[in-house]
Amino acid sequence: MPSITIIGSLNYDLVTYTNKIPQGGETYQANSFETHVGGKGLYESIAVAKLTPPNSILMSHNDCGSDKIDIRMVGKIGDDSFGQQLKQFLIDNKVNVDHVITVINQTSGVAIILVEQNNNGENRILIIPGANGELKLDDKEYETIFSKNKGNDEFNSFVILQNEYPDTIKSINWIKKNRPQLNIAYNPSPFKSELITKELLSKIDLLIVNEGEALDVANHLMKNSHQQDLIDQINHINRGGSGDGGDNSKLLIEVFSKLAIELQQLINPHNVQVVIITMGSKGSIYIAKETNNNNNNNNNNNNNNNPQFIEARKVEKVIDTTGAGDTFFGAIVSNLALGKSIDYAIKFATTASSLTIQKKGAAEGIPSYQEVIDNL
């Protein structure tokens, strides 16, 4: 029985929709205000749960089977009403909350989100960590969460990590030392240069980054002349440099594809070894050690180590981009844990994220598995 364990942040979102972001000293009347459950850890866990076939989710320990996935959230909440709502939302969406701990005399994490409606739904986010800042697990807790006595299929199991809690490095080090067959899926967001080392990335099995994060990693770690040339090309294109016909998108895809190859050389070669660079409305690039040939019905190909580009789905009206990246991430991991090919997983995730951005509320806007299937 595979498992997908998400370790990360649980926040309560306070969202303001506005046509304009005020400058310093300026007051501006916004359009509306909403509250939502949030946090990258919650978004990712809800995405995994909603985008997994309902009959494949483990509902109780009496329901164990090789075709079931145990979807588990590891996090901390405050002893407040926000925390109660966060935990109940996870339960309602079939996420195992055995390892969601309430911290006494502490507030839950809060995210203040500004959504600029006249600018394609772009968002700006401020985070107050609250109980998330106390998410520091000891060895005994890791042993409990990743017990070898639960019949988990470690080869097809994943741990989803990001940088919205303080102990990401310890999580990665403990898992690779004690459960090396588990696949670590990592999004280095928010980017923290002090965390990103070649040693750390060598323990990552699936690295997913957007254009900015990919460039941040490259600037921080890539020093040889070829790598520096790629970085310079990207910076030149982003400043307005272009080739024939002025098609910057094609140039960026070409150069980021080369960068994906460089990034793949930094991560662990022994498990799935996947690098994905998401490029917003352009699409996404991926490179994998090998295609998954276990399921012949899932559009397998034989591209092996050649970077592949998948175009984004066309969307008539973007409402809110807040949860798009986390929806994409959760969809990728869910499909890989189920034995789907990376090509199928990317196409599924692309469809899922395109549906997410057409709704308000990052977690509430995540589509169901059936909605994605209907739109593939």
Other CB atoms within 10 Å distance of the CB of residue 33: 10
Q: Is the pLDDT of residue 73 over 60?
A: yes
The proportion of the chain whose per-residue pLDDT surpasses 70, expressed as a percent, equals: 91
CATH number, residue 354: 3.40.1190.20
Given a contact cutoff of 8 angstroms between Cβ atoms, the answer to whether 342 and 289 are in contact is no
Q: Which long-range contacts (CB under 8 A, 24 or more apart) does 230-239 make?
A: 230/255, 230/258, 230/259, 230/262, 234/259
pLDDT at 88 > cutoff 90? yes
pLDDT digits (tens, 9 = 90+) for 293-302: 444 344 444 4
3-state secondary structure of 263: helix
Q: Tell which wins on pLDDT, 320 or 167.
A: 167
Give 119 or 368, the one with higher predicted confidence. 368
pLDDT confidence tier of residue 150, bands split at 50, 70 and 90: low
CB 284 within 8 A of CB 308: no
Residues 180-208 as b/e (b if ≥16 CB within 10 A, e otherwise) read eebbbbbbbbebeeeebeeebbebbbbbb
Say if residues 256 and 211 touch (Cβ distance below 8 Å): yes
Q: Which domain holds residue 95?
A: 3-22+31-375
Between 153 and 375, the more confident residue is 375
Structure confidence at residue 298 (pLDDT):
46
Catalytic residue among 67, 326, 343, 374: 326
- Residue 254 contacts residue 277 (beta carbons within 8 Å): no
Q: Is the pLDDT of residue 255 over 90?
A: yes
Mean pLDDT of the chain: 91
Domain count, the chain: 1
Query: In degrees to the nearest 10, what's the CA dihedral of 41, 372, 121, 35?
Result: -50
| Residues placed in the known binding site for K(+) | 320, 322, 356, 359, 361
**374 catalytic residue (yes or no):** no
Res 362: pLDDT = 81
pLDDT tier for residue 242 given thresholds of 50, 70 and 90: low
The band of 222, judged by pLDDT with boundaries at 50, 70 and 90, is: very high
pLDDT of residue 156: 87
Q: Please give the DSSP secondary-structure letter assigned to residue 57.
A: B
Residue whose tokens read 């409305």: 281
pLDDT at 297: 42
For a pLDDT cut of 90, what percent of the chain falls above it? 77
Q: What is the pLDDT of residue 239?
A: 86
pLDDT over 80 at 246, yes or no? no
Q: Mind listing the pLDDT tens digit for each residue in 6-63?
A: 999 999 989 999 999 999 999 999 999 999 898 999 999 999 999 999 998 887 655 5
Q: Are residues 40 and 189 in contact, defined by beta-carbon separation less than 8 angstroms?
A: yes
Count Cβ atoms below 10 Å from residue 336 Cβ, excluding itself.
25
Task: List residues forming the annotated binding site.
Answer: 11-13, 164, 210, 278-283, 320, 322, 325-326, 356, 359, 361
100-142 pLDDT per residue, tens: 999 999 999 998 989 899 988 888 988 899 999 999 999 999 9
The pTM score is: 0.88
Q: Compute the distance between CA of residue 267 and CA of residue 271 in angstroms, rounded to an integer.
A: 10
What is the reported pLDDT for 247? 67
Residues 88 and 108: their CA atoms lie apart, in Å, by: 14
List, for residues 171-193, the tens digit of each pLDDT value: 999 999 999 999 999 999 999 99
Strand ranges in the chain using DSSP code E only, listed in sequence order: 3-7, 11-18, 32-38, 70-78, 96-103, 109-116, 122-128, 158-161, 183-186, 206-210, 274-278, 283-288, 308-311
Mean pLDDT of 146-151: 74
209: confidence class by pLDDT, cuts 50, 70, 90: very high
Using CA atoms, how far apart are residues 46 and 60, in angstroms rounded to an integer?
18
Q: What is the dihedral of CA 96, 97, 99, 100, to 10 degrees?
A: 150
Query: What are the phi and psi torsion angles at 167 (to 5°)?
Result: -125, 35
Single out the residue of 153, 154, 159, 190 nearest to residue 172, CA to CA.
159
pLDDT grade, residue 284 (50/70/90)?
very high
CA distance 158 to 148: 14
